[in-house]
Amino acid sequence: TELGAHWQDEDHSPKYEGEIYIPQDDIDVYVRSEEERKKLLAGVLRCEVTGKPFKITPPELAFYMRNEIPIPRMHFDQRFIERFQLRNPRRLFSRQCDNCHQEIISTFSQSRPEKVYCEECYQRAVV
C-alpha cells in the first residue's frame, strides 16, 4: 500500500457446509429425538438478524438441553452485540442519592429508573 502497511481483504470467517436447518422452538424435541439432534448438529443455522451462518456444537447442544434453553436463532456475534448494548454507557452522571439526596456521581443517568444510593446509604441498607 501507499503507506507501507499490509492490508488483508480476505474473508477468514468459517465456511459451513450442509443444509440450512431451522431449529425447533421446543428444546424437548432434541432431548427426546436423537434423529433431530443429528439434523441440528449436521445442519447450518442462519442468523435471523444478519443472515450469517453458524453451527451448534455437541457441547453447546448438551448445555442447552441440560438447562432447558431453546436453540439460539442468532449468530454468536449478534448475541454478543445485543448483550453489549444492555450495558451502561461509559459515561458518568451527576445525580442525587435516592435516599438522602446527597450529590453523587453514577453511571446511571437521572432519567433511569434504578435507585441509586450514596456509599453511606448503601452500606446502611445492605449491612
Tens digit of pLDDT per residue, the chain (127 long)? Answer: 466 777 767 777 778 888 999 999 999 999 999 999 999 999 999 999 999 999 999 999 999 999 999 999 999 999 999 999 988 888 999 999 999 999 999 999 888 899 999 999 999 999 8
The residue count for the chain: 127
Q: Which of 60, 15, 67 lies closest to 41, judged by CA?
A: 60
Which residue has 450495558 as its cell numbers? 87
Give CA–CA dist 68/51, Å, rounded: 25
Cβ contact 105:88 at 8 Å = no
All 3 cell numbers of residue 53?
451462518
CA distances from 45 to 64, 107, 112, 118 (A): 15, 38, 37, 47
Q: Does the global pTM surpass 0.85? A: no
Give CA–CA dist 104/127, Å, rounded: 20
